[in-house]
Amino acid sequence: RLARRHALHPDHRVDGPVAATRALTVLHATEQATPYLSVHARTTSTPLGDVDAALFQERSLVKHPAMRRTIFAFPRDLLPAALGSASARVAAEEGRRLVRDAEHHGIADDGAVWLEAAARAVLDRLAGSPPLTARQLREELPELAGTTTTGNLDKRWGRTAPVAPRVLTMLWAEGRITRGPNAGSWRVSRPTWTLMTDWLGAPLDPTSTEEGYAELVRRWLGSFGPGTEDDLVWWLGSTKTAVRAALADVGAVRVALDGGAHGWVLPGDDEEEGPVGPWAALLPTLDATTMGWRGRDFYLDPRDVPYLFDTNGNAGNTAWWDGRIAGAWAQDPDGTVRVVLLPGGEERVPPEGREALDREAARLSAWLDGEVVTNVYASRLMRGERLP
């Protein structure tokens, strides 16, 4: 299922960015380069410009914050479902925090009044305007002034940050504004902001909460099923009540999983998949396949987690052999991609697997053409570290 549905087997790759995104329901887009690399892994030959065109010219893919407060690239037709469910949850939570923090950090005596004024100022400024950066909006709008502090500033995790980006994120999750053209390269995030209606050329009509969650669950089961209730609660960033209602709404079918657990698939999707030949894939940081389930033992040895994920659960680049993570990939200063196997990887990956991974590394090196991707979530294995 994973090899075929996620378009990872060379014989089952798809054609273009939209098809690659639909194969996974959505693409992770927190790191600027991830959508481009995720598309490359699942297509035979997709130029960088085709991904840019889908995101910024055709706008058939739209970046949006939704499940677990994560930024995803959505197929345009799935946005109403997200806006009615997962994104609405994010917007409401962020709004409550902003009101509380505005009062706590002395930005305003009445946080709700301040937030309403700040949001209105942003919307009025963007109306009829070319896309603007967050810095431009902050400099032009006094309503966005102010900072908040998290943690202890005497410790390395303490920091003070402007409140303006949080206001923009809330409006983004609400679907009132969105990211416009990226002012940086495909590897560097320097977003501009514009009204969602201007970007899409028409207003979006969010679904009801129930309809939205049902559609997200329907798409997820088509891409990732069988999955457990816990997988869906985690992926959606929602509640068991919402997941159970959505499973009932789509008529999900209960199936037995290895180890005695049970999962869910769509109606008529409970037949076993036929075999495919062995396959290799190199996936980027936070790729939707790596991050698709909460329970990952069927493709990841739990002992390998510290090598591949940070302490917050963010996955770095991964190298897959025949349905399991076998290592990571990194780049040399000249941009050459190299595979880094997990400890004992030589025993887990046969010579044919290493050859297939090396071919994928050469394919990715040629596509990157000397460009080096900087990763925020670089794993220990990517950095060449070994655990004690």
Query: Rounded to an integer, what distance in angstroms lies between the CA atom of residue 204 and that of residue 216?
Result: 17
| pLDDT attached to residue 92 | 97
**H helices within the chain, ranges in order?**
2-5, 17-23, 34-42, 48-52, 79-84, 86-104, 111-126, 134-140, 164-174, 196-200, 209-224, 229-236, 240-249, 305-308, 345-348, 351-368
Residues forming beta bridges with residue 253, ordered by sequence position: 265
pLDDT tens per residue across span 167-214: 999 999 999 999 999 988 899 999 999 999 999 999 999 999 999 999
Contact assessment for residue 72 and residue 26, using Cβ atoms and an 8 Å cutoff: yes
* Residue corresponding to tokens 């950090």: 105
**What fold characterizes domain 86-200?**
Arc Repressor Mutant, subunit A (1.10.10)
Q: SS3 string of 197-231?
A: HHHHCCCCCCCCHHHHHHHHHHHHHHHHCCECHHH
Q: Using CA atoms, how far apart are residues 13 and 165, in angstroms rounded to an integer? A: 37
Predicted pLDDT of residue 31: 94
| CA 96/CA 195 separation, integer angstroms | 22
Give 170-181 pLDDT, tens digit per residue.
999 999 999 999
> 329-370, pLDDT tens digit by residue?
999 999 999 999 999 888 889 999 999 999 999 999 999 999
Summarize pLDDT for 248-259 with one digit per residue, the tens: 999 999 999 988
C-beta of residue 54 within 8 angstroms of C-beta of residue 17: yes
Evaluate whether 52 touches 38 at the Cβ level (below 8 Å).
no
Does the pLDDT value for residue 158 go beyond 80?
no
The domain locations on the chain are 86-200, 280-382
Give this prediction's pTM: 0.94
HSE at residue 91, side-chain half, CA atoms within 13 A, is 19
pLDDT tops 80 at residue 23: yes
195 in Cβ contact with 123 (< 8 Å): yes
Q: Please return the burial class of 299, using the count of CB atoms within 10 Å of its CB with bins 0-12, 13-18 and 19+.
A: middle
The CA-based dihedral angle spanning residues 230, 233, 237, 242, taken in that order and rounded to the nearest 10 degrees? -170
148, β-bridge pairs: 161
DSSP symbol at 43: B
Q: DSSP 3-state helix, strand, coil percentages of the chain (rounded to 5)?
A: 45, 15, 40
